[in-house]
């Protein structure tokens, strides 16, 4: 397996079609059929390929500051991690997460953050669920427009420490959209 980093602005039409197929297969009836992002483009992606150079894994990544109880934290957000059906249970998801861990080393990143429907893979890879009220920019993904500000406890919020800052309970302002 090979994992590469690709910046969003470097994605060709051919690669875009492969990513779109993987995302649509992984998130059926949820993911928009005509694009490779749900609400907003990630900054870059980690893509996993098998020995025949077929795309088998994906993780979008968004780097931004978030506000936890009035303190700014540098967050690397994991978006839409998925693995092709024929490559599941072969360590692809864990390999992507390990690659993300390695990427954070020596960089100005306090935490890796994600929202998980199923937590097993992430707990196995050192992530922990946290209980925070989240505030975020609500986006209508079909119309590409702001709908307002959301604020509530969201199940599946998980973090992994990547720097020296400490996580706290309380309000997490995402200072942007919910990925």
Judge whether residue 29 has pLDDT over 90: no
Q: Where are the domains of the chain?
A: 2-130+157-165
pLDDT tens digits along 112-148 = 999 999 999 999 999 999 999 999 999 998 899 999 9
CA-CA distance, 140 to 70, in Å (whole number)? 27
At residue 132, the pLDDT reads 98
User: What one-character DSSP code corresponds to residue 10?
Assistant: G
CA-CA distance, 59 to 81, in Å (whole number)? 4
Q: Does domain 2-130+157-165 have CATH number 3.30.365.10?
A: no
Judge whether residue 84 has pLDDT over 90: yes
């Amino acid at each position: 397996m090979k994992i590469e980093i690709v910046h969003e602005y470097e994605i060709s039409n051919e690669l875009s079609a492969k990513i779109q197929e993987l995302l649509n297969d992984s998130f059926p009836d949820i993911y928009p059929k005509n694009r490779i992002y749900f609400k907003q483009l990630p900054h870059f992606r980690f893509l996993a390929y098998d020995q025949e150079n077929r795309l088998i894994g994906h993780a979008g990544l968004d780097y931004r500051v978030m506000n936890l109880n009035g303190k700014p934290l540098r967050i690397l957000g994991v978006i839409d991690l998925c693995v092709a059906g024929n490559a599941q249970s072969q360590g692809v998801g864990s390999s992507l997460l390990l690659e993300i861990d390695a990427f954070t080393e020596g960089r100005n990143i306090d935490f890796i953050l994600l929202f998980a429907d199923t937590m097993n893979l992430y707990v196995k890879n050192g992530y922990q669920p946290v209980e925070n009220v989240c505030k975020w920019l609500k986006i209508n993904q079909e119309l590409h427009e702001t709908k307002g500000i959301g604020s509530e406890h969201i199940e599946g919020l998980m973090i992994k420490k990547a720097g020296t800052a400490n996580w706290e309970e309380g309000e997490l302002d995402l200072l942007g959209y919910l990925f």
